[in-house]
């Protein structure tokens, strides 16, 4: 079912199976690794900048992970056997998902909002049960059958089974498996080329964010407004927005750019079209 859904999405948006598989590799940036550095050590965001973390590293780790045995997709409820973490640990993990002071504070506020009604007085050494991960939809074991934490989605587990040839060997699944194995073994520059081509195609075909009411992935997702990208060149960039695209009045010079392409303000990322 998952592989068929991937195939159907690829057809609708004029993507090849290889390109769709390349896009999945961005899950290597998933933020569940928290404060873990590339050497496996933990960074402390309360006293360090923590910009050298594993989750910020673009690599083909996704393919190396999901293509490795042993993956089991649980059809029945399975309790997660991962050890519990302290409240202090969870606070720091949430902080490490961001680099700006504003977002780090916002992350801490959200932790406190979740924990305070449950725990009252907050002991930083208290163990916390994460209700979101208490149930394990996927179990993952090392070669010696030691359980590991599955940090990806159920769909990624199906991709991994296709990579290992443990699904029905039809045309779609074989193509997925071949691409997964190729990206697992090749250097990242080849994967980068395929990923870049696939992302541009996805943007240009108007694929939408899954968030209802959010911006379409058109390159026009800019709530701060557009300005001339060339100093001294006066341009009318007032009709470059996603709102004008939706309203049919879009008109934008290629020399217009978003006034704030990136921002440390939470409002920049949480503002949606009405």
Residue-by-residue pLDDT tens, the chain, 274 positions? 566 777 777 777 788 899 989 988 887 766 566 788 878 788 999 998 888 888 777 778 889 888 988 888 877 656 666 667 788 888 888 888 888 888 888 888 888 777 766 666 566 666 665 544 455 677 777 766 666 777 777 888 888 999 999 989 998 899 999 999 999 887 677 788 888 888 887 776 655 544 455 544 444 456 667 887 676 788 888 888 777 877 888 888 777 777 654 444 444 444 433 3
Tally of helices (H runs) and strands (E runs) in the chain: 10, 7
- Ordered domains of the chain (ranges, CATH): 2-82+133-204 (1.10.420), 208-274 (no CATH)
Q: What is the per-residue pLDDT for 99?
A: 83
Structure confidence at residue 178 (pLDDT):
93
Rounded to whole angstroms, the Cα distance separating 256 from 219 reads 12
Q: CB within 8 A of 24, min separation 6: which ones?
A: 62, 156, 159
The pLDDT score that the predictor gives to residue 68 is 86
pLDDT of 212 reads: 52
Rounded (5°) CA angle 1-16-186: 100
- In this prediction, residue 274 carries a pLDDT of 36
- Which residues does 214 contact at the CB level (< 8 Å), separation at least 6? 208, 272, 273
Phi-psi category of 166—alpha, beta or left, where left has phi over 0 and alpha has psi -120 to 50?
Answer: alpha
């Amino acid at each position: 079912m998952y592989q068929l859904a991937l195939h159907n999405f690829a057809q609708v948006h004029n993507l090849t199976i290889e390109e769709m598989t390349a896009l999945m590799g961005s899950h290597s940036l998933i933020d569940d690794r928290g404060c873990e550095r590339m050497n496996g050590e933990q960074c402390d965001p309360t006293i360090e900048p923590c910009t050298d973390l594993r989750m910020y590293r673009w690599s083909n780790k996704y393919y190396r992970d999901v293509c490795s045995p042993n993956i089991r997709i649980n059809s029945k409820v399975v309790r997660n056997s991962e050890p519990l973490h302290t409240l202090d640990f969870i606070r720091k993990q949430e902080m490490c998902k961001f680099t700006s002071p504003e977002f780090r504070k916002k992350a801490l506020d959200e932790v406190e909002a979740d924990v305070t009604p449950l725990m009252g007085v907050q002991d930083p050494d208290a163990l916390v049960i994460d209700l979101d991960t208490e149930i394990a939809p996927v179990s993952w074991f090392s070669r010696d059958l030691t359980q590991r934490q599955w940090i990806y989605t159920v769909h990624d587990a199906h991709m991994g089974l296709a990579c290992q040839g443990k699904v029905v060997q039809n045309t779609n699944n074989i193509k997925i498996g071949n691409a997964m194995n190729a990206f697992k073994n090749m250097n990242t520059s080849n994967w980068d080329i395929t990923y870049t081509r696939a992302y541009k195609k996805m943007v240009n075909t108007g694929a939408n964010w899954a968030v209802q009411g959010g911006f379409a992935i058109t390159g026009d997702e800019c709530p701060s407004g557009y300005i001339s990208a060339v100093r001294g060149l006066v341009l009318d960039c007032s009709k470059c927005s996603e709102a004008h695209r939706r309203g049919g009045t879009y008109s934008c010079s290629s020399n217009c750019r978003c006034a704030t392409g990136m921002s440390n303000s939470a409002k920049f990322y949480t503002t949606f079209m009405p």
